[in-house]
């Protein structure tokens, strides 16, 4: 294997997509000595870097600072005068962060000898990717819906386009996902937006209706409220964060409502109309919500249209190209990673799967991908989870016990004035295995890494309880909850450990 030239069309491995799955997988393949090409039609870094993880966290950083400023007096800090947000400056800072990260990926490609092929890539038969480039197909700005729409239209046109044919014995499909929309709803993107649009808004609305109370909906609700926007959330299920452990969604709701965020759970938007004055939504039961804008946050779907799957015999399941534990699709030589395979729509899952696919594609010895994937919600307080939810444990008939520890009982939480939240540890009552860890509180998205590492190495709850955590820290709550699951908590009043048997 050798480094490809910039004009080479023959590779050992081609990645279709440069998101966190494609670009990380490509780096690993190049590290292993393969000739690697990455095909990208828009911006390097995919959704995560340009329209997801990174821009949302950049905006949330500003929102969290505003939230803390609003409560500074409780820490003895008096802030005189009115505190305001310069939204244009916030957006400028966010865009600067994105540029730096894109340039970083590009630099890594150059240093690793990875060929970046700009254009729209489609399968053109086994082992072949046809890349169309030309007017409208070179990378476009993620901040402009008009440019993105023009780009999408150009994929189907032929004028001023050139096609380059790439070949490789192994190809990794890493085209990611796009926000789901609601059929029949108004198409006025200035009023009815997806998260892709909302992250790049030029102005803030005075009021916002968030449709969907999952991870994206909760992060935007938290962010916008802290920035002074009047927020209403409508969720079809009976609680926020319906894909996570029930107590997390039930725990964040009163915190949101205390801040003035209106929550309508077990509710649908039955009708939505848009006018020059704003948006009018009619909810289940007849209640109405008026808002300047609507954010549609009802999930994501695989970005598998117009990538030539039929030319290689690949079929989809609800739009996803499914993969086995080796990241192999149903067609030999083609791998499917990240959001497009539907296993776990998270950036870090895509990266890990990209590395696994690269190794399996280039090695005679294949290893299944088995690592537990943590979930993180960047509200304040933060929410994080790894392993099985209590609902899933019950569904599988596993005898278990529950350990709980309130964040507010920690010295660190009291000292910094952030006492909301808890840690929940699910323990297999017969084997002492860690089944799942669920956490809400300060720095939860960082602390969950410790729980994920313990779960990954198949540590027991007793071993988790024996880990020495720094004091004072929020991470101590993990140890405390593990002790509680064993009935051995020291910093909680004595109680009978909650033991759940099959069928209870």
Span 269-280, pLDDT tens digits: 999 999 999 999
325: left (phi over 0), alpha (psi -120 to 50) or beta: alpha
Q: Quick check: is 428 catalytic?
A: no
* Same domain? 386 vs 483: yes
* Same domain? 288 vs 310: no
* Same domain? 386 vs 276: no
Could you give the count of Cα atoms lying within 13 Å of 367 in the half-sphere of its Cβ?
A: 12
- Give residue 144's pLDDT: 37
Name the pLDDT band for 498 (thresholds 50, 70, 90).
low
* Same domain? 123 vs 238: no
- Give residue 496's pLDDT: 61
Which residue from 141, 55, 52 is spatially nearest to 90, judged by alpha carbons? 55
pLDDT at position 419 over 90: yes
Strand 36-40 with 170-173, pairing = unpaired
pLDDT at position 136 over 50: no
66-124 pLDDT, tens digit each: 999 999 999 999 988 888 999 999 999 999 999 999 999 999 999 999 999 999 999 99
pLDDT at position 485 over 80: yes
pLDDT at position 426 over 90: yes
pLDDT at position 414 over 80: yes
- Give residue 140's pLDDT: 31
**Residue finishing a domain among 268, 296, 324:** 296
> How far apart are alpha carbons 145 and 135 in whole angstroms?
17
- Give residue 504's pLDDT: 53
**Can you tell me the mean pLDDT for 143-170?**
60
* Same domain? 339 vs 291: no
* Same domain? 175 vs 312: yes
The partner residues of 40 in beta bridges, in order of sequence, read 118
Q: What is the dihedral of CA 31, 34, 39, 44, to 10 degrees?
A: 10
- Give residue 274's pLDDT: 96
* Same domain? 356 vs 394: no
458-474 pLDDT, tens digit each: 999 999 999 999 999 99
- Give residue 293's pLDDT: 97
Number of domains in the chain: 3
> How far apart are alpha carbons 289 and 268 in whole angstroms?
12
* Same domain? 174 vs 196: no
Q: Residue 88 domain-assigned?
A: no
- Give residue 265's pLDDT: 98
- Give residue 142's pLDDT: 35
Q: Residue 186 domain-assigned?
A: no
Q: What is the dihedral of CA 316, 320, 324, 327, to 10 degrees?
A: 120
- Give residue 151's pLDDT: 42
Q: Residue 375 domain-assigned?
A: no
Structure tokens at 86: 């310069």
Strand 170-173 with 13-16, pairing = parallel
**Residue finishing a domain among 264, 281, 296:** 296
Q: What is the dihedral of CA 49, 452, 422, 481, to 10 degrees?
A: -170
- Give residue 501's pLDDT: 59
- Secondary element (H or E) of residue 466: helix 461-466
The CATH number of whichever domain residue 429 belongs to comes to 3.30.390.30
Q: Residue 477 domain-assigned?
A: yes
pLDDT at position 328 over 50: yes
The CATH number of whichever domain residue 234 belongs to comes to 3.50.50.60
pLDDT at position 141 over 50: no
> Looking at 71, 146, 456, 471, which residue is catalytic?
471
**Residue finishing a domain among 272, 296, 320:** 296
- Give residue 81's pLDDT: 82
Q: Residue 63 domain-assigned?
A: no
* Same domain? 284 vs 310: no
Tokens 């955590």 map to which residue?
469
* Same domain? 263 vs 350: no
* Same domain? 170 vs 197: no
* Same domain? 37 vs 169: yes
Compute the C-alpha angle 477/482/485, nearest 5°. Answer: 125
Q: Residue 130 domain-assigned?
A: yes
Higher pLDDT, 129 or 140: 129
Q: Residue 143 domain-assigned?
A: yes
Q: Residue 70 domain-assigned?
A: no
pLDDT at position 324 over 60: yes
pLDDT at position 54 over 70: yes
Domain encompassing residue 124: 13-46+105-179+300-362
């Amino acid at each position: 294997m050798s480094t490809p030239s910039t004009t080479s069309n023959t590779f050992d491995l081609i990645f279709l997509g440069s998101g966190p799955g494609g670009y990380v997988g490509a780096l690993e393949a190049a590290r292993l000595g393969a000739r690697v090409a990455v095909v990208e039609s828009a911006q390097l870094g995919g959704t995560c870097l340009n329209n997801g993880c990174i821009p949302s966290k950049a905006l949330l950083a500003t929102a969290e600072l505003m939230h803390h400023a609003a409560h500074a007096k409780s820490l003895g800090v008096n802030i005189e005068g009115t505190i305001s947000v310069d939204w244009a400056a916030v957006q400028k800072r966010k865009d600067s962060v994105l540029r730096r990260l894109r340039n970083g990926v590009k630099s890594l490609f150059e240093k690793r000898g990875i060929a970046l092929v700009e254009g729209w890539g489609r399968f053109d038969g086994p082992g072949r990717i046809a890349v169309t480039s030309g007017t409208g197909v070179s990378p476009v700005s993620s901040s402009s819906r008009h440019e993105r729409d023009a780009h999408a239209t150009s994929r189907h046109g032929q004028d001023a386009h050139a096609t380059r044919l790439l070949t490789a014995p192994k190809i990794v499909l890493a085209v990611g996902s796009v926000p789901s929309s609601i059929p029949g709803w108004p198409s006025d993107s200035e009023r009815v937006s997806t998260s892709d649009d909302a992250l790049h808004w030029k102005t803030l609305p005075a009021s916002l209706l968030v449709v969907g109370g999952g991870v994206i909906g909760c992060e935007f609700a938290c962010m916008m409220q802290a920035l002074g926007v009047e927020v209403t959330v409508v969720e079809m299920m009976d609680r926020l964060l319906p894909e996570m452990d029930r107590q997390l969604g039930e725990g964040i709701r009163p915190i949101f409502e205390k801040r003035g965020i209106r929550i309508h759970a077990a509710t649908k938007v039955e009708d939505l109309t848009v006018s020059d004055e704003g948006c009018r939504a009619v909810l289940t039961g007849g209640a109405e919500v008026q808002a300047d804008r609507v954010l549609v946050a009802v999930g994501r779907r695989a970005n598998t249209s117009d990538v030539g799957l039929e030319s290689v015999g690949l079929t989809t399941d609800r739009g996803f190209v499914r993969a086995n534990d080796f990241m192999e699709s149903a067609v030999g030589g083609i791998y499917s990673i990240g959001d497009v395979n539907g296993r776990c729509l998270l950036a870090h899952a895509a990266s890990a799967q990209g590395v696994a696919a690269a190794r399996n594609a280039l090695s005679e010895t294949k290893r299944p991908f088995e690592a537990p994937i943590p979930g993180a919600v960047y509200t304040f307080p933060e929410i994080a989870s790894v392993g099985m939810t209590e609902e899933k444990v019950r569904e599988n008939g596993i005898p278990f016990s529950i350990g709980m520890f309130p964040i507010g009982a920690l010295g660190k939480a009291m000292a910094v004035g952030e006492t909301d939240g808890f840690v929940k540890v699910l323990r297999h009552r017969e084997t002492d295995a860690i089944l799942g860890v669920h956490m809400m509180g300060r720095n939860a998205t960082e602390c969950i890494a410790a729980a994920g590492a313990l779960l990954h190495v198949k540590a027991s709850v007793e071993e988790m309880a024996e880990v020495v955590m720094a004091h004072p820290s929020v991470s101590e709550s993990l140890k405390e909850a593990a002790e509680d699951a064993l009935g051995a908590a020291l910093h909680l009043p004595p109680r009978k450990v909650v033991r759940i048997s099959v069928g209870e």
